[in-house]
Structure 1
Amino acid sequence: MATETLMLSSVAPSTVPVSDRGASKQSPSASFPDPDWSSTYLNYYQDADQPPPSTADTKLSEHELRIVRRGDDSPNIARTPVSIRNIQGREAEYNLSIHGFMLKAVYFSEVSELLKRDTGAKYVFQYEHHVRTATLEDALAKDSKGAVDIDGPVRRVHIDESPASARNEYAHYIRPDDPGNEHLKGRPFGIYNVWKPLATVRRDPLCLCDARSLGDEDLQSGKVTVPNVGEIENFVIRPPIEEGRHSFVYVRHQRPEQALVFRIYDGRVDGVVGEKRSHGVAHTSFPDPGTEDEAPRQSVEVRSFCIF
């Protein structure tokens, strides 16, 4: 099968500049919705003085923990109106090195070769995957033991791991100092996510934020407990200081042969002053108006260490 890639990291000359893609400038009409845009809301974290609630907090009730995990109605959430651009058919305009993500047509077994080709990695190790098949409502209704419920879509703008957490995970899984891993020692690494539907997406699509439109001042660190992993540090995202500054895109009716590839962390530029590409790409699911009665979204995501 031919491989179709959609990255958000570098952009072709025909791509609309970030400064021209604000929601206030190109939002669709309420009476005649523009098929290239979806008017909806995203959940941001709005309390700059307090870290977000942690799923490891034993003071929270089970109901409160479920709300925190999914992020749709938890404390300190700012529900912010946005317009999200549909990039179905515009895949070639987006590049992994500039925007931080891309779209690929790929089978699960091709993930390693895909990442080697598109990130330049010499070695790729897949270390985690999640399958999501439930609606948000069904995921919230489930019982759990205090860990993240990962069976349904997440309704909070976030980055999966902070740079510090990425380095800790790498040391935990890869152990470059162990005998036999000498070829990995001292090499920079990144973490990339490959996300694909198992059936055409009709509701709760995934949207991604152009990395160039997100600043360090937008990031708020938080803690989350993940099954079989433990507590990790991630980032939740504050509302933009200027309306429309964050540039979000999605793929309308994304198909199973189309995989989104996006960055969680890239150590090659970690610590470089003014360089935003070390932190991950902010993302979230969102309620696409008029799709509430569609079948639940089914998707699989694979996270991999890319060693350069």
Structure 2
Amino acid sequence: MSPALTVEPLDFEAPINYFSPQKEKLRHETLKPKQFGKTDDDSRVAIVHDLRGKEDQFTLADNGFIFTELKTSGKDEDFFNEEWVKSVYYKEVGEVVKKVTGCDLAIVYQHVNRSAAQSLDESNPANMGDPAKNGPATKPHCDFSGEHLDAYPKLMGASLPKPIKDMWESSSRWAMYGAWKPRVTITRDPLIVADSQSLRDEDYLPVEREVGPEGHKFILGNYLIAQPSEENAHKWYYLHRQRPDEIVIFGGTDTKQDKKGWRCAHTAAVNPHYVNDPPRESIEVRCVAIWK
């Protein structure tokens, strides 16, 4: 990452809205909603470590995330222009993903802008397109799971050019990643990521949901995160005063699961030093990385 003005490191403590350990798979439609900044019986306080100055000590493969540089050609107002985001920003993120993963092709396919202090009815897909209705993540989770991977090429392949669809289906490996960055330098409610080395397999609670029209249903999955077995067993990190040219890439799922970084738990956290600052403004995209 490029040199910047010195920023003093700032660790902090924050409640994490965990879930109780479960033996059975959870269903998306039966989950009890959580609210950002509001705790419940399953919440636990954790230390969130500032990794500024230590970014090169973490890797995508081993730890599940990497903070790196993205110098976008756009201005803040461009991120509200759907055409610009899809035609320009998607390509910029795709190039970063190719650089940090070594994949042959990166397909960025979805984005969400956030600028609210709280999300309004996350169950309503219509709200996802309105930054003013999208706030910080309410609970620690992974966007995908390690199951039902065969559904993604089938579900998404229909909208891809045939050569790309064929490449995906015949690939030696593919993975899903998230890529998050602020649109302005942020202090309040940062995105935090967990070092995948600090989570056990049983800490990932699988959730299933059905998507698609009748007769063409697919089962997809993601993970919620259970309370750690010991206090502060999960190691959480963020980048203090993360700038618009600093992006975090984090693991979603992967057909290659020999290292723990193929998935990365993440959420937002209330930084008690900045509760009165303006709500954070950010953009997140999802990406498929394909190896021939």
* Contact 2:168–2:174, Cα closer than 8 Å, also in 1: no
Matches within 5 A, 1:125-204: 125-136=107-118, 139=119, 142=120, 146-147=124-125, 150=128, 151-174=134-157, 179-180=162-163, 181-187=165-171, 188-204=173-189
* Contact 2:192–2:266, Cα closer than 8 Å, also in 1: yes
Displacement of 1:234:
1.3
Using a 3 Å threshold, how does the CA distance of structure 1 residues 185 and 153 change in structure 2: closer, same or farther? same
Displacement of 1:89:
2.2
> Which structure carries more helix by proportion?
2
Please say if 1:210 is aligned against 2:200. no
Q: Distance in 2 between matches of 1:91 and 1:286?
A: 19
Q: Distance in 2 between matches of 1:202 and 1:251?
A: 9
Of the structure 1 ranges 159-168 and 78-87, higher mean CA displacement relative to structure 2 is found in 159-168
The letter for the 2-side match of 1:266 is D
Give 3-state SS (helix, strand or coil) of 1:264's partner: strand
Displacement of 1:43:
1.1
Matches within 5 A, 1:25-174: 35-49=9-23, 52=26, 54=28, 56-57=29-30, 68=33, 70=35, 73=38, 78-106=42-70, 107=72, 108=89, 109-136=91-118, 139=119, 142=120, 146-147=124-125, 150=128, 151-174=134-157
* Contact 1:4–1:103, Cα closer than 8 Å, also in 2: no
Q: Distance in 2 between matches of 1:288 and 1:260?
A: 18
Using a 3 Å threshold, how does the CA distance of structure 1 residues 212 and 145 change in structure 2: closer, same or farther? closer
* Contact 2:17–2:139, Cα closer than 8 Å, also in 1: yes
1:27 corresponding residue in structure 2: none
2:221 corresponding residue in structure 1: 233
* Contact 1:147–1:227, Cα closer than 8 Å, also in 2: no
Question: What per-residue deviation string (whole Å, max 9, x for no partner) do you get for residues 135-175 of structure 1?
Answer: 02xx2xx3576449551111211111112255422321135
Q: Distance in 1 between matches of 2:210 and 2:239?
A: 29
TM-score by length of 1: 0.73
**Root-mean-square deviation over aligned CA pairs:** 3.3
Please say if 1:307 is aligned against 2:290. yes
Displacement of 1:205:
0.3
Displacement of 1:298:
0.6
Of the structure 1 ranges 91-100 and 230-239, higher mean CA displacement relative to structure 2 is found in 230-239
Using a 3 Å threshold, how does the CA distance of structure 1 residues 74 and 92 change in structure 2: closer, same or farther? closer
Question: What per-residue deviation string (whole Å, max 9, x for no partner) do you get for residues 89-134 of structure 1?
Answer: 2222222121111112212342111111110110111111111110
TM-score by length of 2: 0.77
Question: What per-residue deviation string (whole Å, max 9, x for no partner) do you get for residues 278-306 of structure 1?
Answer: 3x100110111132211011100111100
Using a 3 Å threshold, how does the CA distance of structure 1 residues 176 and 267 change in structure 2: closer, same or farther? farther
